[in-house]
Amino acid sequence: MLYELKQIKKLQKRPDGIFGSFMTRPVSHIVAYLSMKLGLSPNIVSFISLVLCSIASGIIAIYTSYLWYVVAALIWWFAAIFDAADGDLARYTKTASPFGGWFDSLLDRIKEFMIFALLGYISYKIYDNEIYLLLGVLSVFSNVMSGWISDTKKLFIEKREVEIYLGKKYSLGMVDTRDFVVIVSLLCNELRLALIIYGLVFPFVVLSQIILFYKRYGRSNNISKEN
Mean pLDDT for the chain? 87
Interval 152-204: pLDDT, tens: 877 776 655 666 666 667 676 778 889 999 999 999 999 999 999 999 998 99
Concatenated DSSP letters of 115-181: HHHHHHHHHHHHH--THHHHHHHHHHHHHHHHHHHHHHHTTT-SS---S-B-SSSEE--HHHHHHHH
Band of pLDDT at residue 227, cut at 50, 70 and 90: very low
Interval 33-57: pLDDT, tens: 999 999 999 999 999 999 999 999 9
- Does the pTM surpass 0.85? The reply is yes
pLDDT of residue 153: 75
Domains of the chain are: 2-218 (1.20.120.1760)
The set of residues, in sequence order, having a beta carbon less than 8 Å from that of 201 and lying 6+ positions away, is none
